[in-house]
Amino acid sequence: MLHGMGQNHGPAPGTSPRSHSLPPDATYSQLGIMSRSASRRLGQIAAYLAAPLWALQAPIWMAAPKVQEQTVPYRITNPVLFELFWLSIAGAVAFSAAAARPITRQVGAPVSRLSRTSAAVAVLALALATAATVCIALAPIPALQAVAITVMTNLLNGAAVILAVSLTLSAVACWRIRRTVGRVAAFPAALAVVTIAMIVAILASGSQSMIGLSFAVVVAVLNGLIWFGWARAISGTLGRQQYSTANY
Residue 134 lies in a domain: yes
Its pTM stands at 0.79
Whether residue 28 is contained in a domain is answered as: no
In a domain, 248, yes or no: no
Over residues 164-183, the mean pLDDT reads: 88
**Among 20-29, 112-121, 183-192, 212-221, which is the least confidently predicted range?**
20-29
Is the residue at 83 inside a domain? yes
* Domain range enclosing 88: 47-242
Q: Answer whether residue 45 shows pLDDT above 90.
A: yes
Task: Confirm whether 22 is domain-assigned.
Answer: no
Mean pLDDT score of the chain = 82
Residue 18 maps to a domain: no
Q: Residue 188, CB half-sphere, CA atoms under 13 Å: how many?
A: 34
Name the band, by pLDDT with cuts 50, 70 and 90, for residue 230: very high
Element housing 145 (H / E): helix 145-175
- Total domains, the chain: 1
Residue 57 belongs to a domain: yes
Residue 6 falls within a domain, yes or no? no
Q: How far apart are CA 13 and CA 17, in angstroms?
A: 10
Contact (Cβ atoms closer than 8 angstroms) between residue 166 and residue 118: yes
pLDDT confidence of residue 207: 64
- Which residue(s) pair with 76 in the sheet? 68
The per-residue pLDDT for range 46-85, each reduced to its tens digit, is 999 999 999 999 998 887 778 887 777 778 988 999 999 9
| Res. 108 pLDDT band, cuts 50 70 90 | confident
